[in-house]
Amino acid sequence: MSVEEQYKAIRTELEKVIFGQDEVIELTLAALFSCGHLLLEGPPGVAKTMLVRTIAEALDMEFNRVQMTPDLLPNDVTGSSIYREDTRTFEFRKGPLFANFLLADEINRSSARTQSSLLEAMQELQVSYDGVTHALPAPFMTFATQNPIEQEGTYPLPLAQLDRFMFKVHMTYPPPDDEIRVLAEHHATAGLSASAESGVQKVMTKDQLLDARNVIRETFVREEVIRYVQRLLQATRDDESLTVGASPRAGLMLIMAAKSLARFSGRDYVNPDDIKSALLPVMRHRVVLSSSAELEGMTADEILSRMIEFVEVPR
């Protein structure tokens, strides 16, 4: 199957249980196919956990969920050494991080120390403990959620942590018609821990996903599009409404995300529309608003959308 066909097959399975979240599904799969990590922001109860669990089912991969509480320690996520009396040696006991998909639920409720324990895993795909490096399963992807409304008892993610996420995706309430469908089709399964009744089929293997990622890496990007991305990066640095602009890493993430979107559309090349579609979710968590912009009530999305309008687009 082509990447486009694989994307459509997984999307079909997700849409059996996730309703009214078309953009969220597309961006989630773009991050998955692009070796990226995903930060989901939204109120409780909009199916963030169900989204990750359903992807794991459709790809037959291991999924672990960690509730990120203030008293959670780094070892509770990465793992720790235990002493074995029979061998009189210490043995590394792997934590929940060692799975294909890790859901760090309410990540901004954990301490900065625990948040930082994810940095090496997300960047290097490994965990170092007592001088020994332990490789994570392939593929590996971190999904993190945070609640934008409830700020009491939270620890905002530093820029270094935010920069590890390919996308920051806003997951909001579904439209009325889709919400009616959620209520009609899921009311009988409310409160059940298993999702056996979802009807989700396994449509892709780990090896197929890894092969698809290689195909996406080879997607052609012409020089004019690369220059367009650089102009967008420069625009974030020159804008007086922003105190921190986008880094070269943000540009690489933007191009990689655009490659996935191009393949999803059946193309083997990136066009400027792919860049525009990926710009907001890639950049919104990487730029920092100035105090004057915040006082005026501006948002990162508004500023970035304005840049899309005035930065010259290649033909």
Instruction: Work out the percent of the chain whose per-residue pLDDT is above 70.
Output: 95
pLDDT of 295 reads 92
In this model, does residue 36 exceed pLDDT 90?
Answer: yes
List 252's β-bridge partners, or say none. none
pLDDT of 228 reads 97
Tell me the C-alpha distance between 227 and 223, whole Å.
6
In this model, does residue 194 exceed pLDDT 50?
Answer: no
In this structure, what token pair is assigned to residue 91? 């043995």
In this model, does residue 129 exceed pLDDT 70?
Answer: yes
Residues 6+ apart with CB under 8 A from 282: 166, 167, 250, 253, 254, 257
pLDDT of 188 reads 63
Does residue 107 contact residue 156 with C-beta atoms inside 8 Å? no
Instruction: Work out the percent of the chain whose per-residue pLDDT is above 90.
Output: 60
Q: What is the pLDDT of residues 219-274, one digit of tens each?
A: 999 999 999 999 999 999 999 999 999 999 999 999 999 999 999 999 999 999 99
pTM of the model: 0.89
Give the type of residue at 98: F
pLDDT of 198 reads 64
DSSP string computed for the chain:
--HHHHHHHHHHHHTTT--S-HHHHHHHHHHHHTT--EEEE--TTSSHHHHHHHHHHHHT--EEEEE--TT--HHHHHEEEEEETTTTEEEEEE-TTSSSEEEEETGGGS-HHHHHHHHHHHHHSEEEETTEEEEPPSS-EEEEEE-SS--TT--PPPHHHHTT-SEEEE--PPPHHHHHHHHHHHGGGTT-S--GGG-PPP---HHHHHHHHHHHHT-B--HHHHHHHHHHHHHHHH-TTEEE---HHHHHHHHHHHHHHHHHTT-SB--HHHHHHHHHHHHTTT-EE-HHHHHTT--HHHHHHHHHHHSPPP-
In this model, does residue 166 exceed pLDDT 90?
Answer: yes
Counted residue by residue, the chain has a size of 315
pLDDT band at 217 (very low <50, low <70, confident <90, very high): very high
CA-closest candidate to residue 129, choices 83, 74, 203, 167: 74
Does residue 133 contact residue 127 with C-beta atoms inside 8 Å? yes
List 126's β-bridge partners, or say none. 135
pLDDT of 190 reads 58
User: What is the pLDDT averaged over residues 116-126?
Assistant: 88
pLDDT band at 149 (very low <50, low <70, confident <90, very high): low
pLDDT of 92 reads 85
Domains and CATH numbers, the chain: 3-192+201-209 (3.40.50.300), 219-310 (1.10.8.80)
User: Which of these ranges, 159-173, 216-230, 272-286, has the smallest mean pLDDT?
Assistant: 159-173
What mean pLDDT value characterizes the chain? 89
